[in-house]
Structure 1
Amino acid sequence: MTYARPVRLAALAATLTLGCAALAAAPATAVTGPAVAAADTTYAYTAQITVGDHDRGCSGVLVDREWLLTAASCFAADPAAGLNVPAGKPATKTTAVIGRSDLTGTAGAAREIVQLVPRTDRDAVLARLNRPVTNVSPVALATTAPTAGESLTLAGYGRTATEWAPLSLHTGTFTVDSATATNASVTGTSGTAACMGDTGGPLIRVSGGTAQLAALASQSYQGGCYGIDTTVTSTGGITTRVDDLATWVTATTGTIRATDFNCDGVQDIAISDPRATVGGDAKAGLVRVVYGGGKGTAEINQDLDWVNGSSEADDRFGESLATVDYDEDGCTDLVVGAPGEGLGTATDAGMVDVLHGATGGLGTGTVKDTNYQQGAGNGSLGASSAETGDRFGASLAADVTRSGEPFLLIGSPGEDLSGFADAGMAVYVHGTTNATIHQDSLDVPGSAEAGDGFGGAVAADSNHLVIAAPDETIGTDADAGNLAGFDPNTLNSENRPTPRFGLDQDLDTVSGGAEAGDGFGTSVALVPYRPSGAAAATESILAVGSPGEALTIDGASKAETGNVLTFRITAAGAYTQLNAYQPGTADDDVVGSSEAGDHFGQTLTAVNTAPRAVSTTATMKLAVGIPDEAVGTTASAGAISTFSLLGAPGTNDRWLEAGDGDGIPGTPGTNHKLGSSLHYTGTSLYVGLPYGPSAYGTLHALPLSNVTAGGTVAAVTTYQPGAGGLPAAGDTFGYAAR
């Protein structure tokens, strides 16, 4: 079928049509030019896109290992009426095949398109894939406009002159006639035309032997295409310019994925209150969700019929949170730990729920909740048993491997092992299986001992996992702490992530010395790192908090003042210490001064705001919580110190306290413990105040400029029970946020 031409192309003849194919049974596949041989990978970056059950077919092009660039008209409800495409998950399930010239073969990759980011000024949309494509190289965008007279090659999977649905990629040559700010008109040579199904296909310029994406197929007269009236002979058409889209493409593909539970392209936020009373049960816990774009709020607790278990006193549902698109459907899933959950007769055994996102919000899809607990399911969890005090879910981390496989890392610091009480473990969950990790596992540094608390803190990125044992005894120093690092991209003979390194303060390569009560590893944070000259961010920077560290400041010992150490971790697991962070003295270049009992480093959060780009001091951010900082004479008012993970600490630091003008309102209050709840996203630092001044708790979202050295102060978003649609109830709202 053909579509009526859009008004914006009124100057063209009425036979000019959009090239996306609406199909009755099979996907459309190719340009009326010659077929590309199965072994020819010249145009491997070209994608065949199928919308729905072969309802519509288009072409596209891989411009990033996770993103296609294609035509918005491929996804518009009625392309003839307009090219408005809602951001977020496609309305209909959409698949893409990349790098497969012969569609009957297995080359390249097959993926699902799970997110759309449309342009509003032209027929173009970026489409995110559920997993990266690792065996096909993306094509680079051209940097200059198509010029009259130049030849471009179109590759596509649309109809040919004789086939409705050919099974091969086809190519054809087009001559540029003229260009406007967003489009270029072209004419096919030697009878070549763009047909239905070619919409979104790449028009390639070769410069210096390198392919460049100059334009996308948009509209065509379709002269000679199968099913077009034989009286139509024109091979002219309109293409969409892309040479000026590099900044937009880079900004979109290189950003951190936002939390988006209802997959509408707008950021959402989940805020926990693990001590909230639910149905009369004190400290049962709940999570409140605020959907972005004014789409309302929701309360999630264990008394909902779609959430596993039931609310009981001291469950502490929401004590830990993590987010990841675990089912790879384009909607963020919320991971919630309830370490106080009782299982059978085992109190504080703990469990974890993955609450699945959907277009209607959390819990509205077909699969609503995937529950993890010891003694249930398969893998190591199914073979284990829940015991009193395990505190499974006390810590959580989630991410995806370099190949895009989602995973969870669940800490259970109270797990008894080999007769050792509270030795601790963690569970690595991926796909449909899981494996425990503990200090008696193959090649894991250290050994399981009573009271280690292995799994007390965990962190993860695509390159590494870290599991800390902050109560580990080093030598004779109790609670000195240590940690182990793993590679989630390589499973060992026990089907566990491969151990790569161990850290403690008695190593010559780590500053300081292990001392009783240091709590090295009480908090940990990992972010991907791309050094200059590297092709990708396959390294990590690790931050480790030791809130019990004693420091000698101006000749005086400051007990439990705390510090943070950072390390560069290579892809192979080799580490190098980078910096040591602490407030120091009133006279040095780091704001603040170290005082006994501050507990600097009790909490940590870090972010790489541009993980695809070479890392810089501006993109690598660290925030350190100092919850027991006294402000003036106000005990445990708390404070936050922010730094860059690169460069000298004192050159890139900023001090935050209540009422100091950076966006945290009010005045410092006794035991408010500012800094006890921190979380970075790509746009904000979320700061929770679960202990006051509000009786319910509060969460502030501070723009990154507010927490960056030299940055300007912008408006802060505040979430608080009793405002913005949140009920006026709670106890420790803001305890955690994701």
Structure 2
Amino acid sequence: MSRAALATSLIAGSLALGIAPAFGVTGTPVADADTTYAYTAQLIIGAHDRGCSGVLVDREWLLTAASCFADDPAASLAVSAGKPALKTTATIGRSDVTGTAGAVREVVELVPRTDRDVVLARLNRPVTDVAPLALATTAPAAGEELKFAGYGRTKTEWAPLKLHTGAFSVDAADATTAAVTGKDGVAACMGDSGGPMVRVAGGTHQLVAVSSQSYQAGCFGIDATVTDTGGIVARVDDLASWVNSKVGANRITDFNCDAVEDIAIADPKATVGGAADAGVVRIVYGGGKGTAEINQDLDWVPGGSEAGDWFGESIDTVDYNEDGCTDLVVGTPAEDVGSATDAGFADILYGAAGGLGTGATKATHFEQGAGNGSLAVSSPEAGDRMGHAVAAGTSASGEPFAVIGVPGEGLSGAAKAGMAVYLHGSTNIVTHQDATGVPGGVEANDGFGSTVAADANHVAVGAPGEAIGADADAGNLAVFSHTLNSEGRPTPLFGLDQDLDTVSGGAEAGDEFGKSLALAPYRPSGAATANESILSVGSPGEDLTIDGTNKADTGNVITFRIAASGTYTQTNAFSSGTADDDVSGTAEAGDRFGSTLTAVNTAPRAVSTTATMKLAVGVPNEAIGTTANAGAVQTFSLLGAPGVNDRWLEAGDGDGIPGAPGTNQYLGRSIHFTGTHLYVGMPYGPGTGAVHALPMSNVTANGAVAAVTSFRPGQGGLPSVGARFGYAAR
């Protein structure tokens, strides 16, 4: 029989015997203390419906066999991208699964191949104590020996608790598979599917393939007449580029966890049930799966729609409950709590396979005087405006978090001093300028918490109303790490204001330094991960002297590199163009450049470059010709010279924002970067508002103009009404 014919017969033979293509190696059990194959994972799919093996190829991702998740592997290996249909538990780094080494995680996302029996499986949290296995870069060769590890059946055990290993010889390989034969009676068995086939050279392990099918000679429950130890493995040595593109991408907003990007668009001034300015958030599910309106009159959303609530004035996204479905964080700062007007509150609304609010747990509510943690012992007061700003994400350790600004909170007799609430796990803690180590001091009208920003490494909280000396509203901010200190609060690292020698400019009344903030993770050359951050700080009230003339409220932005050690260095200063530079635009009085900011690292796993570190600056009061307050957006790289890497965006200029500049449209008040687009909201018109999703090339210096996706009331299933549609988008 030819080798090609044998490969075909291996697949057909397995299926004819009723063997699902999932298999435990009949080899040697691994000692408890042996970590040689610690990268191997055991997968339990459903309530022990299936067992498979896998291999850690990134701290958050496994490679395994797609057949483990296929509905009927005998008929098709097709697997839907997104959250697995059945809960899947992965145990990594344990030679004995009853031990405590390594980690136990849940698989929350699948990214399948269509050309072979391979799927990437994302874990709910990183594995930090097991080294991932690198992929090989050359094909398996005939006669080559590969080592295999798996948790499947053995000769004598139906459900073994220990990892087993064995050696296989490569018989032949084609473009996507290889035929192998177990040596010394070793065979892959049920439960081994997806386990690693490894090339060992000079003590270095490289992943060549994952187990796919086997004749299973000698495996528990297999007829003794079956003597063939051969099998088929799915090659992965040519998949490094594909793997890197998937594991290195930013997570998308995916409320129904189907691996298709969704979008949440706030309209906080919308009327609900006759209540003006009650507010809604509109959801557009990707892939043509419809739209939804989220408001406080829904029985699963806390509160009730009332006039002036401004539900959705601030929003952000995070998979807070780590189930693979994006959750929506919503601030409602003008909500009355009891008799306290504009006390405000915030909610986390949970995604699920059927969309937001369709899962078993629908929402978690946060308000002062309720729940647990610091909020339970705090009291709602008029004008607190809890939820005025929100930021959410996942820390470098993998823990989801959210930050809620409460800028109107009175502290120690100082009205509107402000605070911020840090949510993690099932609890919360507040921080403010009276907390240990937080720079500045509690003073009336500081507005600490007016702005918040966060990435995987750091949290920044702005107090744009802070007086610096005698200069009212000069502004400052505080930066924290996610590491909790002895008080259970994020650890304060440093404060920034423009009277510091390490910050350019000088503190002046009305600068509002910290009025806008953005953080993006940064991986310097030589670092293994993006363990630093670039912080951008907007001062829209900054006056600039241009050609000897003072231009009031022109505005500027300053950026800082925050090292892993917690120290900082100013890296750049940005403003619209002048006659003395090559930056686009023209700096003018009243522009308020830097009123809003958004930043992103488009390749957070790679060493950061000018191409991957992006900043967008809102200039909402920019006059376009004689059109007052038409607004604009200017983009830059966070690295390198501003003028070389900037792009000026205005309505109708050919970059993808349609229409023409309009009076009081304030373009630039609503901007947000995803990993692939810049969302530009136009809540002040034209018409009932819009959000335009501009591809990265459209907002990159010298980039080609690609097609723009626009979301408007009355189109794509959205209702035709809008009051501030596009106020925020995520």
| TM-score (normalizing by structure 2) | 0.98
Residue 683 (str. 1) matches residue 683 (str. 2): no
The letter for the 1-side match of 2:667 is L
Give the partner amino acid of 2:359: G
CA–CA distance in 1 between the matches of 2:415 and 2:34?
Answer: 61
1:733 equivalent to 2:725? Answer yes
Trace 1:237-248 onto structure 2 (pairs within 5 A): 237-248=231-242
Instruction: List per-residue Cα deviations over 1:585-619 (Å, max 9, x = no partner).
Output: 14521001110000000000000011011000000
Q: Which amino acid aligns with 1:59?
A: S
For 1:319 and 1:562, locate their aligned partners in 2 and report how far apart those are by CA, in whole Å.
24
Following the alignment from structure 1 to structure 2, what is the Cα–Cα distance between the partners of residues 470 and 8?
A: 72
* Contact 1:610 1:619 (8 Å CA) reproduced: yes
- 1:263-662 equivalences in 2 (<5 Å): 263-488=257-482, 490-586=483-579, 588-662=581-655
Q: Distance in 2 between matches of 1:735 and 1:77?
A: 42
Q: Distance in 1 between matches of 2:76 and 2:596?
A: 50
State whether residues 16 and 237 of structure 1, in contact with CA within 8 Å, keep that contact through their aligned partners in structure 2: no
State how far apart, in whole Å, the 2-side matches of 1:235 and 1:453 are: 71
Contact 1:111–1:131 under 8 Å retained in 2: yes
Task: Select the residue among 246, 254, 258 that pairs with 2:248.
Answer: 254
SS state at 1:705 partner: helix
Question: Aligned residue for 1:141?
Answer: 135
Q: Contact between 2:23 and 2:214, CA under 8 Å: does it hold in 1?
A: no
Q: Deviations over 1:603-644 (max 9, x none)?
A: 000000110110000000000000000000000000000000
CA distance in 2, matches of 1:658, 1:300: 29
* 1:669 and 2:667 aligned: no
Distance change in 2, residues 1:8/1:428 (3 Å): farther
Question: Residues 13 and 736 from structure 1, CA distance in 2 versus in 1: closer, same or farther, beyond 3 angstroms?
Answer: closer
Q: Which amino acid aligns with 2:277?
A: K
- Counterpart in the other structure of 2:712: 720
Is the 2:140–2:208 contact (alpha carbons within 8 Å) kept by the matching residues of 1? yes
Instruction: Tell me the CA shift for residue 441 of structure 1.
Output: 0.2
Residue by residue over 1:676-732, the C-alpha shift from the partner in whole angstroms, topping out at 9 and shown as x without a partner, is: 1000001100000000111x1110000000000011000000000011100011200
In 1: Cα distance, 2:13 partner to 2:271 partner: 66
The 1:486/1:341 distance shift into structure 2, 3 A limit, reads: same
Measure how far apart 1:324 and its partner are. 0.3
> Partner letter of residue 300 of structure 1?
I
Counterpart CA distance in 1 for 2:15 and 2:211 is 11
Residues 628 and 636, structure 1, Cα contact 8 Å, conserved in 2: yes
Alignment match, 2:697 = 705
1:226 maps to which of 220, 227, 230: 220
1:5-16 to structure 2, matched below 5 A, reads 10-12=8-10, 14-16=12-14
1:123 to 110, 117, 120: 117
User: SS at 1:247's partner residue?
Assistant: helix
Change (3 A) 1:507 1:19: farther
Match of 1:3 in 2: none
| SS of aligned partner of 1:679 | strand
SS at match of 2:376: helix
Instruction: Report the residue type matching 1:582 in the other structure.
Output: S
**How many equivalent pairs are there?**
726
Q: Which residue of 1 aligns with 2:158?
A: 164
Return the letter of the residue paired with 2:627: T
Greater mean alpha carbon deviation, residues 659-668 or residues 203-212: 203-212
Aligned AA (1:248): W
**TM-aligned CA deviation for residue 573 of structure 1:** 1.2
Contact 1:270 1:737 in 2 (8 A): yes
Q: Which amino acid aligns with 2:725?
A: F
Structure 2 alignment gaps of length 5 or more: none
Taking the aligned partners of 2:537 and 2:32, their CA distance within structure 1 comes to 51
Q: State the AA in 2 paired with 1:111.
A: R
- 2: CA distance between counterparts of 1:461 and 1:150? 46
Partners in 1 of 2:713 and 2:23 — Cα distance?
Answer: 54
Deviation at 1:17, TM superposition (A): 4.9
Query: Are 1:150 and 2:144 an aligned pair?
Result: yes
Q: Is the 8 A contact 1:567 1:578 kept in 2?
A: yes
Specify the SS of the correspondent of 1:15: helix
Q: Is the 8 A contact 1:21 1:56 kept in 2?
A: no
Give the match's secondary structure for 1:349: coil
Instruction: Answer whether contact 1:29 1:48 (CA < 8 A) is retained.
Output: no
CA distance, structure 1, for counterparts of residue 672 and residue 17 of structure 2:
45
In angstroms, what is the RMSD of aligned CA positions? 1.5
- State the one-letter code of the partner of 1:629: E
Query: What percent identity do the matched residue pairs reach?
Result: 72
User: Which residue pairs with 1:189 in the alignment?
Assistant: 183
SS of the residue aligned with 2:286? coil
Q: 1:512 to 1:577 in 2, by over 3 A?
A: same
**Residues 597 and 617, structure 2, Cα contact 8 Å, conserved in 1:** yes
Deviation readout 1:427-458 (Å, 9 max, x if unpaired) = 00111111110000010001110000000000
Matched to 2:13, the amino acid is: T
The SS at the match of 2:421 is: strand
Gaps of 5+ in 1: 1-6
- Aligned letter for 1:399? G
Residues 31 and 192 in structure 1, CA contact (< 8 A), matched pair in contact too:
yes
Per-residue deviation, residues 480-515 of structure 1 (Å, max 9, x unmatched): 000000011x21111001000110000000000000
